[in-house]
Amino acid sequence: LRLHPDDHRAVADVLASNWLTMGPRTQAFEAAFAAGLDAQAPPFAFAVSNCTVALHMAYVALGVGPGDEVIVPSLTFVATANAALYTGATVVLADVTSPDDLTLSVDDVLAKITPRTRAVAPVHYAGQPCDMRRLVPECKRRGIAVVEDVAHAPLADALVDDGHPRALGTIGDLGCFSFFSNKNMTTGEGGMVTTRDPALADKLRLLRSHGMTTLTLDRHRGHAYSYD
Ligand SMILES: *Cc1c(COP(=O)(O)O)cnc(C)c1O
């Protein structure tokens, strides 16, 4: 890892600003990241502590809980599965495609789907996209949500139905990103959860902040004086 002198300066600027968390830099980062995913129609993007939190929030926002099954690939970092376990759901493993394609096998997902399956979490392993063109319609048809684990593939894309590339994390219902120190891009510790669904975005906004209806920064700026 080699951090650029600009990064050192950016951290020093934040320290000097006296506003350390969820401030204007966070908002600017969310906007820039969302525009990086789709300049024409940026998704909702919420910066969070890490990708594990992003995945947990994604599952909770979808209403995943006890009695539900979440299908995750057998080859991934353990957070993809752990975050589903936090909700009380049952994790079901599906195999990856082949030694040459380490992403989730859509055939094995279809074999593992039961009436209890609530979500599938494709992992775009090492930057290689899952077969979203096939997975998303199969899930949509059955009312199963798709939570993309994009920890290895920020700002990478995949071809979808119309033959045009779309950014990973904007194809399923939710996208979860990691900015941990060993990932493609880092904020030290950090993550992002994205969605195009306004109802899911409303839930994510509240889940990130313990249900508080306004942020500390908004109150500081005088946009609000209290919160529900
Ligand atoms: C690193 C990683 C995560 C978890 O990311 P954190 O930001 O460390 O919580 C989740 N999924 C995959 C595939 C990862 O590689």
Ligand 1 neighbour 154 (Cβ under 6 A): no
Work out the burial of residue 40: count CB atoms within 10 Å of its CB; fewer than 13 is exposed, 13-18 middle, 19 or more buried. Answer: exposed
Average pLDDT, the chain: 95
State the distance between the two ends of the chain, measured CA to CA, in whole angstroms.
42
The pLDDT of residue 223: 78
Q: What is the pLDDT of residues 16-28, one digit of tens each?
A: 999 998 899 999 9
Query: Is residue 139 over pLDDT 90?
Result: yes
Query: Is residue 125 over pLDDT 80?
Result: yes
The predicted model gives 49-60 an average pLDDT of 98
Rounded distance, CA 124 to CA 204, Å? 22
Of 202, 181, 186, 195, the closest CA to residue 55 belongs to 195
Q: Tokens 């079901």 correspond to what residue?
A: 92
The pLDDT of residue 72: 98
Of ligand 1's atoms, which has the minimum distance to the CA of residue 76? 13
Q: What is the pLDDT of residues 27-50, one digit of tens each?
A: 999 999 999 999 999 999 999 999
The pLDDT of residue 133: 93
Give one DSSP letter per residue of 82-105, joined into a string: HHHHHTTPEEEEE-EEETTEEEEP
Q: What is the pLDDT of residues 66-109, one digit of tens each?
A: 999 999 999 999 999 999 999 999 999 999 999 999 999 999 99
The answer to whether residue 183 is catalytic is yes
Of ligand 1's atoms, which has the minimum distance to the CA of residue 190? 7
Task: Give the rounded percent of residues in the chain with a pLDDT score beyond 90.
Answer: 86
Closest Cα to atom 10 of ligand 1: 79
The pLDDT of residue 111: 98
